[in-house]
Amino acid sequence: MMMLIELSSLQKKFSQHEAVKSINVTIQKGEIFGLLGPNGAGKSTTISMIATLLKPTSGDIRYKGASTLHDSRTLRASLGYVPQELAIYPEFTAKENAQFFAKLYKVPKKERQERIDSVLYKVGLLDRASEKVERFSGGMKRRLNIACALLHKPDVLMLDEPTVGIDPQSRNYILEMVKDLNTEGMTILYTSHYMEEVEFLCDRIAIMDHGDVIALGTREELTDMMEHQDIISMEAAPMHEEFQARITELPDVSYTELHNGILQIGIHKQADVLPEIFTIAKELGMRIRNVEVTTPRLEDVFLYLTGRKLRDE
């Protein structure tokens, strides 16, 4: 596998606040690389630095081995970037937007029409090409934004939380489209705070928190970090505070987390703690309604590493 983008000791400070803390990440040609982390983790700052829209405080970004900090032309020509905020004109039609960006990206005139039709088709908007964007749903606008980033046939596509606040249908459409683009050979950098999306899409994942990459690997490598863990999810009525406190004290329990009435208990793999848990529940007069034992997912890895939930709810 060829290293396509290398971030070395990449750091960004906003006055005293260190938004990205000297991270080292390499993105291989042909992979879907995910940046997963909660809001404020530093994902957008990182991706904006790669897109050359934000100057790093220190460190380097190399594209195909050459630093992009002084000469970003090669990278810019090969990069499609879809920011979190929509960058399209609502009073124009979808086609007019695409025409505008095709000119901006210097797509040769004789190729423009075909290219525009092809990207609008790809995002499922060819039949709506002549409609004004202000009449589009959030998901359609987002898809058009992606189409505009594809006009110059980039080698790398970077998407910053592309599914936030859109309908499930558009979300699935985008996820499938990203997979297809990757199958056709495009390298993808995808940021999200949705664990399921990153699990579904990404070959490798960097988990970010407070500006730092706290873990990096394939999904299996990340969940293997917790190879000594199983997760018990338990619903009970009532759920006593004392119950959680006593469970946390048990020797085979590594952590507990109460969320939406469900108590999650991280236990050493195959530890026989259920009888003790049931006994404590009985002592406290609780009725257990549901118990499930599962192997860890990325969400659990985040909880394990940070002691916090990935999502802010």
Ligand X SMILES: Nc1ncnc2c1ncn2[C@@H]1O[C@H](COP(=O)(O)OP(=O)(O)OP(=O)(O)O)[C@@H](O)[C@H]1O
Q: Which residues sit at the interface with ligand X, rule CB under 6 A?
A: 14, 17, 19, 37, 39-45, 161
Q: Which C-beta is closer to ligand X: that of 18 or that of 199?
A: 18
Q: Which C-beta is closer to ligand X: that of 42 or that of 124? A: 42
CB-nearer residue toward ligand X: 133 or 178: 178
Q: Please report how close the Cβ of residue 174 comes to ligand X at its closest, in angstroms.
A: 16
Smallest distance, ligand X to C-beta of residue 143, A = 20
User: Structure tokens of 193?
Assistant: 């705070």
Token pair listed for 87: 């960058």
- Smaller CB distance to ligand X: residue 178 or 206? 206
The CA distances from residue 273 to 71, 238, 265, 279, in Å, are 59, 20, 10, 10
* Backbone phi and psi for residue 229, each to the nearest 5 degrees, phi listed first: -120, 140
**Minimum distance from CB of 142 to ligand X (Å)?**
15
- Min separation Cβ 161 and ligand X, Å: 6
CA distance 193 to 38: 5
Instruction: Write b or e for each residue in 132-146: b if 16 or more Cβ atoms lie within 10 A of its Cβ, otherwise e.
Output: ebeebeebbbbbbbb
Contact indicator for 61, 69 with CB cutoff of 8 Å: yes
Question: What is the 8-class DSSP label of residue 134?
Answer: G
Nearer to ligand X, 37 or 296 (CB): 37
Closest CA to 148 of 119, 170, 111: 119
Minimum Å gap between C-beta 242 and ligand X is 36
**Other CB atoms within 10 A of residue 31 CB:** 16
Q: Which of 137, 184, 120, 134 is nearest to 156 (CA)?
A: 184
Which residue, 112 or 210, has its beta carbon nearer to ligand X? 210
Spatial CA neighbour of 267 closest among 245, 242, 247: 247
In the complex, minimum distance from the CB of residue 82 to ligand X, in angstroms, rounded to a whole number: 14
Q: Which is nearer to ligand X, 85 or 272 (CB)?
A: 85
Peptide bond preceding 238 in cis form (omega within 30 of 0): yes
Q: Residue 42 Cβ, how far from ligand X at the closest point, in Å?
A: 4
Q: How far apart are CA 97 and CA 91, in angstroms?
A: 9
